[in-house]
Amino acid sequence: MYSSILKIIAALVLIISTSAQAMEFEKPLTASIPVTSQPSYRTQSVASVHPTQALKKTVMLMRVKLTRHQKQLLNKNQAEATLASSPPARNSNLPRQYDRGMNGTPVLDQGLHGTCTTFADTGAIDALLGKGDYVSQLCNLQLGSYFEEKGYVPSGWDGTMGPLPLNQMLSFGIISKPNQRIKTCGGLRDYPLMNPYSIGYSMSLEDFKKSSENLNEMIYWEPLLTYQERFNWAPENTAEAEALLTEIKNVLSLQEEYVDTRLTVGVLIPVEYCSAGACARYHTENDTWALTNTIQRDEDAEMGGHEMIITGYNDDAVVLDNEGNKHQGLLILRNSWGREAGDQGNFYMTYDYFKLFVMEVQKIVIEK
């Protein structure tokens, strides 16, 4: 019994020691977004949808509680921000565009839960492993529930920071989806996509270990930007954001024979605007987050947090926002809202929006 308690304490210390704990998480925010095909769950029933009315689905965003100091700094950033009317600066050492893609990993769907961080981290690892939809989000969340019960670590069901699921997976391994369905995790064989109230129960470290696979001999991660570092940026100086964007382009475009990389990013989203904050069009309506004049001026917007995978960038891409302003330069993102959302599951983010609302970036690496 004493030995088991020591193991639990050691596990919690290991996860917390390198995880950002500066943000509090409560029940997620909801937003309604248009979709291109009938989703498995909707804001409205099929019978109530008018023939000319677009189908919509409900998506979940982390509820972000900024401190007073953090909010003041963000508002100063907004006051200093300007719309990107000029093309991105040319860098002769970097290609103008590059997309690493997802290596055959299908678009995932987090459903009616605030689990975007777990889905982004597992999706990035899926892309590195090249085994398709392989890593179980459900099992990692159930182990997260166990750590939440034993300490002060958020489970991930209502949101968390990017480092925590990564540290958990590299410390204690992952369970594959085939094993999830054969052996169950927390009493469930399948992730509860449509039921936010039925998440099963926690899975002990001992039970998790019986079905887990070790990742830390071939995968590691490092932060490019932490949540704490983000709020040390000086509002009057954009050099930090520009340097981060250049580093992201470097990581994405670097081709190495024995190493592959994916990036996950956490951003703030003004949930009350457009389609969960996405107010611009690249390939389809509302598939792009852009810094509109209205968003830039609103210092009291309700902000949700969202985690996604950055797969590429395009310095020459131009989008038009809902106010008629053009923005040049895009990050290419893999989202976890299902294939019927955005551009067949992918979304985009203008450089101006990214530089204002980015909160964290993680670099995840596999050694082949």
- 110 pLDDT band, cuts 50/70/90, is very high
pLDDT at 2 over 70: no
* Structure-derived torsion over alpha carbons of residues 195, 103, 163, 27, reported in degrees to the nearest 10: -20
Mean pLDDT of 194-217: 94
Mean pLDDT of 17-43: 70
Please name every residue paired with 331 in a beta bridge, in sequence order, or none if there are none: 313, 349
pLDDT at 16 over 60: no
Tell me the C-alpha to C-alpha distance, in Å, between residue 228 and each of 22, 27, 64, 109, 360. 7, 23, 14, 29, 9
pLDDT at 43 over 60: no
Neighbours of 42 (CB within 10 A): 17
Structure tokens at 42: 């909707």
- 7 pLDDT band, cuts 50/70/90, is very low
Q: How far apart are CA 92 and CA 86, in angstroms?
A: 18
pLDDT at 321 over 50: yes
Q: How far apart are CA 219 and CA 260, in angstroms?
A: 10
| CA-CA-CA-CA torsion sign (251, 255, 259, 263) | positive
Say what percent of the chain tops pLDDT 90: 72
Please give the domain boundaries of the chain with CATH numbers for all domains: 2-367 (3.90.70.10)
Question: Between 60 and 237, where is the model more confident?
Answer: 60
Number of residues in the chain: 368
Mean pLDDT of 48-62: 75
Q: What is the pLDDT of residue 32?
A: 93
Q: What is the pLDDT of residue 24?
A: 58
Q: What is the pLDDT of residue 20?
A: 45
Q: How far apart are CA 96 and CA 332, in angstroms?
A: 13
For the entire predicted model, the pTM comes to 0.91
- 26 pLDDT band, cuts 50/70/90, is confident
Q: How far apart are CA 336 and CA 307, in angstroms?
A: 9
Backbone φ/ψ region at 133: left (φ over 0), alpha (ψ -120 to 50), beta = beta
Mean pLDDT of 150-162: 94
Q: Give the distance from CA 205 to its chain's centroid.
A: 25
Burial class (CB in 10 A: 0-12, 13-18, 19+), 257: exposed
Mean pLDDT of 354-358: 95
Place of tokens 């299902």: 338
Q: What is the pLDDT of residue 77?
A: 79
Among 4-18, 315-329, 335-349, name the one with the lowest average pLDDT: 4-18
pLDDT tens, 243-254? Answer: 999 999 999 999
pLDDT tens, 256-310? Answer: 889 999 999 999 999 999 999 999 999 999 999 999 999 999 988 899 999 999 9
pLDDT at 87 over 50: yes
DSSP line for 25-78:
EEEEEEEEEEBSS--SS-SS-GGGS-TTSPPEEEEEEEEEE--HHHHHHHHHHH
pLDDT at 73 over 50: yes
Q: What is the pLDDT of residue 213?
A: 97
Q: How far apart are CA 360 and CA 248, in angstroms?
A: 12
Q: What is the pLDDT of residue 45?
A: 41
Q: What is the mean pLDDT of the chain?
A: 88
Do residues 176 and 138 make contact, with C-beta atoms less than 8 angstroms apart? Answer: no
